[in-house]
Structure 1
């Protein structure tokens, strides 16, 4: 019995008595040469990968930025899809980049698909993405519990793979308790502008020791809190009320709150200047922000 709820091959269809002529009917659509699915089903990443793996070498696994999407972080526009194999047999599919690898790939299973392990995925993307997305990816994997800084560094030290040297270098920028990619972006914008680095996701207490809030990026010395708000338009009235009460409690305890939205990131320099003005008003007397050519290159365009 042919399971048409998932992609299938021409050979599987033939075994079930489904002729090539019937496959060309409007009920079905071709995804790759020799791979079809029901036309009524929505196309998503899982469907495309399931279809591709039917006709790729048996040891093929999802890898690189495509693997990162299955781990929960999108670093590109989705195409082409990336897979890795240690099989030397040549195979070419439109929209699929096949990476040849030596030795066993040791995949894990995510959403029913074979995927390179977290450490291998990070090493693989290290030569494909810019520095900021790489740090985002590493911190994302750590936050989700897929690896630890120690495990990743040990992996990068023990392997002779493209990307291990870059992973080793960027580990100095990685922090463990970062909860969103854009927290990473804002923190690195501050750090690369040569301002003091804020602490990540720490508890803010009042004078009695009671918990006031958990802050994204915290300057405890100057009582300045920087928070990235990626969904400020999506809150209901109750959530907005709680946000206002929280902000008032922080301000009553002497904290200065800087909220950064996605719209603010259109002018990234101004975000850094706002942070500088806030900490300077609270006693910071160090250098002004410095926007080098490197800073401009790191933070040009849209970041995750």
Structure 2
């Protein structure tokens, strides 16, 4: 059996490259290779990372193609929705008809950023492009993430939105009104928006709680200062050791001793989003909130339920 040369072991390759090295289409169907896309293979023992998958797709796209939309967002560190189809943008007139790849033809000039050695759209452009395919909630999650990770800033993104005229920018501006600089996780953003779009007051993100002597007690996800209510997302609760859980319990008891009501949202709670909102409303009401009850309109149900 012919040994696999280094040219076919280091990364993805096209059928044409394989043929030039003496490997037939039948060879590529054997156990030594794995098909990633139509016309693109990789050595079977090479781990398939997201970056490798993107590089593989680029082999069948125009030379100027850049990762964009959801694919660029994942390169910038946030996965929203499924990996496939991969999204790319081009200024060329080429068309690609594949279920696992979406090629967007763009009239405006594409400016390349680089993530994981892959050309992609920059964070601000990625945010606007996303506005054409994702929900408003996912848009806010994307912007909160990009700002928290330091890929852009709220002022920089605002300036970009003011001066650009790309498809999706009107929707991106609308979502930007809900973007917060101190938001630190997509789940925290999701819960904050659940509350806001149900017409409850908006909590502040990631605030430090001090005791009467101004000593640090805790840094909390979502804080209602006026009603002394804290909302925290704890998706890793089930994975923690007994010692970690004991520390979490002590931290919570310290907050409650200072007069705070702590509402903890676990990963499983997300299956019943209305119940989360009602729990927060009850905590606020018990601490003096006299505002309206939550309102779950059709849009809220579409986004969260």
| TM-score normalised by structure 2 residue count | 0.92
Equivalence map 1:16-95=2 (5 Å): 17-20=21-24, 22-95=27-100
2:262 to 240, 257, 265: 257
Q: CA RMSD in A?
A: 1.7
Aligned equivalents of 2:100 and 2:143: distance in 1? 26
Cα shift at 1:3: 4.8
Cα shift at 1:202: 0.7
Partner of 2:282: 277
Aligned equivalents of 2:187 and 2:195: distance in 1? 12
Cα shift at 1:30: 3.1
Partner of 1:288: 293
- Between 1:177-186 and 1:86-95, the stretch displaced more is 86-95
In the TM superposition, what whole-angstrom CA distance separates every residue of 1:37-73 from its partner, at most 9, and x where no partner exists?
A: 1122233322221111122111111111111111222
Answer 1 or 2: higher relative contact order, Cα 8 Å, separation at least 6.
1
In the TM superposition, what whole-angstrom CA distance separates every residue of 1:193-251 from its partner, at most 9, and x where no partner exists?
A: 11111111011111111111001000112211110111110111221121111111111
Aligned equivalents of 2:149 and 2:92: distance in 1? 31
Give the conservation status (yes or no) of the 8 Å contact 1:32–1:93: no
Partner of 1:145: 150
- Between 1:260-269 and 1:207-216, the stretch displaced more is 260-269
Partner of 2:137: 132
In the TM superposition, what whole-angstrom CA distance separates every residue of 1:258-285 from its partner, at most 9, and x where no partner exists?
A: 1011211222111111111111111112
Partner of 1:160: 165
Unpaired stretches in structure 1, ≥5 consecutive residues: none
In the TM superposition, what whole-angstrom CA distance separates every residue of 1:66-89 from its partner, at most 9, and x where no partner exists?
A: 111112222112221111111113
Aligned equivalents of 2:295 and 2:232: distance in 1? 21
1:246 to 227, 247, 251: 251
Cα shift at 1:6: 0.6
Alignment length, in residue pairs? 299
Give the conservation status (yes or no) of the 8 Å contact 1:32–1:94: no
1:172 equivalent to 2:177? Answer yes
1:190 to 190, 195, 214: 195
Partner of 1:227: 232
1:299 equivalent to 2:301? Answer no
Cα shift at 1:14: 4.5
Give the conservation status (yes or no) of the 8 Å contact 1:126–1:166: yes
Partner of 1:200: 205
Unpaired stretches in structure 2, ≥5 consecutive residues: 1-5
For the residue of structure 1 that corresponds to 2:272, the secondary structure is helix
For the residue of structure 2 that corresponds to 1:259, the secondary structure is strand
Partner of 2:123: 118
Partner of 2:15: 10
